[in-house]
Every structure is written in C-alpha cells, then in structure tokens.
Amino acid sequence: MRIVSICSSSKANCTYIESGGKGMLVDIGCSYKMLCDGLKMAGRDISDINAVFITHEHSDHIKGLPMLTKKLDVPVYASEGTRHMILDKNAVNPGTSLLLTDEIGKAPVNVDVHAFHTPHDSAESVCYTFSDGESKIAVCTDLGHITPEVRENLIGSRFVLIEANYDPEMMTRNLQYPAELKRRIRSERGHLSNGDCAAFARELVGSGTVSLLLGHLSQNNNTPELAVKTVEQALLASGAVRGRDYVLDAAAVVGSGKAIAI
C-alpha cells in the first residue's frame, strides 16, 4: 500500500491511499486543482481514484466534493448521519453514488476498508482503516478524545495518520479565538492536543506502529516542529527512539506528493 497526504490542516484535508493499482481518497476538503497537483507530484492521476471515503460533513473535509463528483464518476461512502448532511448541503453532483459505510464491503478497491465512530461535533463522524492482509493503515483525525472504539481500531496499525491539532499554551495565548471556540476545541467532541496525541502514540508504537504522521495541525495554535517534538519526547521517555523504533513526521498543510510505501 502507498499513502500520500494531499493536504492536512484545520482548513483542508485530503489523503490518497493506493493498493494493487486501486486508489482511494479519505476526504476531499481541498480544491480540485490542489488534488490534481498533489496526485501529479505522486505520479498519479485523478482517474486512479476508485472510491472516496468521507469522515464527516465539515467544510475542511468535503469542500472539494462537488467538483470532484462532477469531474469523476466515483462512489462516495459516508455514515448515515454524514450522508444526510452532505445531501442537505448539496455537496455532491446529482447522480453520484452516495453510499453508506455499511456498504463499504462492495467498494471497488483491493483492500478491506473499515469505518469506526469518532467523538467529534458533527452529525456522525467516522475514521477509517485499510488492510491488505499484511499491513494496516489508519487515518484518524477530528476526535476530542481516544475512545475504546478508536483504540481498538488503531492499535496494531503499521502506519497511522493521527491528529495533533493544537498546543494548549499557544491556544491559551491566542487572543483571536473566543473563549467558546477554545472550549469547543478542548472538549471531548473537539480535537486532540499535542499531549493527547503523544500519550496515545506511546500505545501505538508499543503495539507495533512503525510510522506516525501527525495531521490536522491548527495553523493558528500549533506548529509542525512543536507537535513532532511533543510526540518524540513522550516516546523517548518510554524508551522508543525516533529513526530506530519508528518514523515520525508532520503532514504538510499542502502535501509534498511524497508517497509512503507501507
């Protein structure tokens, strides 16, 4: 399997995964042009996409869906709650096969795809794992805390794209964010902080995860360097050494097109 982070931030999220020549997207919160450019840098084309898996209805995850489904006849999968919100927002081209995650087993891809619920302030958010029988990839952002369901599905994944949204001190000092917005972000249906991510990263690496990509970083309340440092220090305290026991990086706001083989 190969994975490419097209973009990952509080403003736009899109991840490309490929196995056996079949390409998939997790979310399409960027422009159609950004998607095409990201795929081109990875040596792929829009025609390589065989299915789209949506996590939830927030604009930074579905903004590019109307144009994508206008340009490409591809099935789109979402939870029942998210599907209703997508239809209410007219966020797909008429005639698009907008299917439920219950039907993922019929998706035209070469991997087993599994959806699981995540705690976020949306209608019915989910995240996804992808398994080819030998390795498993997990893409999991936009969650206020690690639930037993999240833990059960992510533990044992070889590669995990996991949220490290904000640094608590930076957000406290941010006078541009009203108190209510800060409470929402910190809530159990908000986002994971760097520290939350670091604590769970110790569990992941301890269970066999060898590659971590930190995603959905806030552009106002975090930096890639700070997120990586927080996670690396927590792992070092548990005896895991970066570069020896695991690989760690932060996803770029706009992806480099670099494909990671799993």
Output the DSSP codes for 46-110. GGGEEEEE----SHHHHTTHHHHHHH----EEE-HHHHHHHHHTT-S-TT--EEEGGGGGGSSSS
What value does the mean pLDDT of the chain take? 96
Q: What's the pLDDT tens digit per position in 33-85?
A: 999 999 999 999 999 999 999 999 999 999 999 999 999 999 999 999 999 99
Does the structure show a pLDDT above 80 at 260?
A: no
CA distance 12 to 62: 9
**3-state SS class at 232:** helix
Regarding the domain with residue range 2-261, which homologous superfamily does it belong to in the CATH classification? Answer: Ribonuclease Z/Hydroxyacylglutathione hydrolase-like (3.60.15.10)
* Cβ atoms within 10 Å of 105's Cβ, excluding its own: 9
pLDDT of 262 above 80: no
Residues 122, 88, 128, CA angle at the centre, nearest 5°? Answer: 45
- Please say whether the beta carbons of 103 and 32 come within 8 A: no
Q: Is residue 258 scored above 80 in pLDDT?
A: no
- Rounded distance, CA 213 to CA 46, Å? 24
pTM equals 0.96
Q: Could you tell me if 100 and 122 are in contact, meaning their C-beta atoms sit under 8 angstroms apart?
A: no
Question: pLDDT for 180-232, tens place per residue?
Answer: 999 999 999 999 999 999 999 999 999 999 999 999 999 999 999 999 999 99
pLDDT digits (tens, 9 = 90+) for 185-196: 999 999 999 999
Separation of alpha carbons 76 and 13, rounded Å = 16
